[in-house]
Amino acid sequence: MKQEISTEIKQELVKQALAARKFAYVPYSKFRVGAAVLAKNGAIYTGCNIENAAYTPTNCAERTAVFKAVSEGITEFDAIAVCGGPGEAEPEDFCTPCGVCRQVLREFVDPNEFLVLLCKGDGSWNEMTLEELLPMGFGKENL
């Protein structure tokens, strides 16, 4: 079941994810992504994608936001907003987290409750649970 999060908080997550896109370092793909993750304590951590010429060290916006929170001792989350698209223009389509980001999120959340907001530049969003994005994901309980 999806987390019960107010419309105002969802709007703030989308707003912050869109703002985080502006900091993306994307000299190769030109595909800017921003993310804003909501911690259970109410704090919001943002991230952007950061590319590298060697490609493998590139880090996605979602992982940047989660790793920023974890580096500050926060490991419990309720939701994330993800906004991405080519160039400087506002995103016209929904952008989903990649498989690696889905797995990183799975490490810290209950996939049946964690809310994922896929957003566009106009501020609209689609809501899904992580379970819908990563069915049968591998978690701590599988070890």
Tokens of 101: 């980001």
Active-site annotation holder among 8, 51, 62, 132: 62
SS3 29: coil
**Active-site annotation holds for 72:** no
**For the stretch 94-119, what's the b/e string if a residue is b when 16 or more beta carbons lie within 10 angstroms of its beta carbon?**
bbebeeebbbbbbebbbbeebbbbbb
Q: How far apart are CA 60 and CA 73, in angstroms?
A: 20
Q: In degrees rounded to 5, what are phi and psi of residue 100?
A: -65, -45
Q: How far apart are CA 127 and CA 62, in angstroms?
A: 16
First to last CA, the chain: 24
Catalytic annotation, residues: 62
